[in-house]
Amino acid sequence: MPQLLRPPLVAGNWKMNKTVSQAHNFVNNLKEAVTEVNDVEIVICPPYTALFSLNQVLKGSNIFLGAQNMYYYEKGAFTGEISPLMLQEAGCRYVILGHSERRIYFGEEDTLVNLKVKAALRTGITPIICIGEQLADREAGKTEEVVQKQLVGSLAGLEPELCQMVVIAYEPVWAIGTGQNATAFEAQEVSNFIRKLLVNNAGSNRAKKIRLLYGGSVKPDNIAGFIKQPDIDGALVGGASLEVADFSLIIKAIKKEVENKCQQPS
Ligand code: PEP
């Protein structure tokens, strides 16, 4: 089977949900449900408390670990924060940065996201950088302006070689946790705009290799439409990643669409 230029990726953002024992239970069931899926990178982003021990459970499986946030210093007097080194040792391959909930509830701005992106890459952790407009921005015709500002700010000063390593999640804020997903067309339009912008940071060949995810009320019954789009390489899933049945259906639907994409002439 031919491979896609950009390996598909699906990440489950559990937010502040699941204790360690609940997390173990979930992962043991998910492992069984997706044993056959080897062509989609599956990532679980649990709360910090579950990271280290989940890493032991996931060893040798096709599911990888990600964190939901981190600070950018290696260590020091930053009460309540977690460093990239700590995440690396806990087994994280990915970290979500700049999620809209971090921006809205904790005042994170692009300059801070940028420092975190650089720190993650220095430590060998792949940042999944979230960008997306609020409903008022979309209604005012400012989607591209907002997305561009967040992208440029988050990637400022990154060398093209490093830029190529990042994953960008386009997450319209009005679609997160609302059940009101963007249409596949809307998501593709913005994703294509993002890919064109990435040429400025990474050059045109590298920009073609950067994975773009869609996030915002992804469910088993709408995921296929997103994955069919030429610039969408996977999904960042919140609510529907909390149930094994839903999350595994999403993963299997991605696998199916990826197989279809592989058959298409590029
Ligand atoms: C998210 O929190 O990143 C997200 C996309 O949530 P949901 O899937 O619940 O909209």
List, as one string, the DSSP characters of 115-129: HHHHHHHHHT-EEEE
Residue 265 CA, ligand 1 centroid: distance in Å: 32
Element (H, E) at 200: helix 184-202
Q: What is the CATH number of domain 9-263?
A: 3.20.20.70
Domains in the chain: boundaries: 9-263
- Amino acid (one-letter) located at 151: L
- From 10, 226, 237, 243, the mutation candidate for ligand 1 (largest count of ligand atoms within 8 A of CB) is 237
Q: What does the DSSP 8-state code read for residue 131?
A: E
Residue 124 CA, ligand 1 centroid: distance in Å: 25
Distance CA 192, CA 9 (A): 18
Q: Are 132 and 147 in contact (CB under 8 A)?
A: yes
What's the chain's length in residues? 266
For the Cβ of 150 lying below 6 angstroms from any atom of ligand 1, the answer is: no
- Active-site pick, 41, 99, 101, 108: 99
Q: Are 16 and 47 in contact (CB under 8 A)?
A: yes
Residues 38-78: tens digit of each pLDDT: 999 999 999 999 999 999 999 999 999 999 999 999 999 99
- Active-site pick, 41, 101, 171, 257: 171
CA 84 → CA 16, 165, 250, distances in Å? Answer: 19, 16, 29
| φ and ψ of 214, to 5 deg | -105, 140
Element (H, E) at 235: strand 234-237
For the Cβ of 217 lying below 6 angstroms from any atom of ligand 1, the answer is: yes
24 is catalytic: no
Residues 76-97: tens digit of each pLDDT: 999 999 999 999 999 999 999 9
For the Cβ of 218 lying below 6 angstroms from any atom of ligand 1, the answer is: yes
Distance CA 112, CA 160 (A): 20
99 is catalytic: yes
For the Cβ of 13 lying below 6 angstroms from any atom of ligand 1, the answer is: yes
Helices vs strands, H then E, count in the chain: 12, 8
- Mean pLDDT in order along the chain per 10 residues (266 residues): 87 98 98 94 98 96 97 98 98 98 97 98 98 97 98 97 97 95 97 98 96 98 97 98 98 95 76
Ligand 1 atom closest to Cα of 241? 8
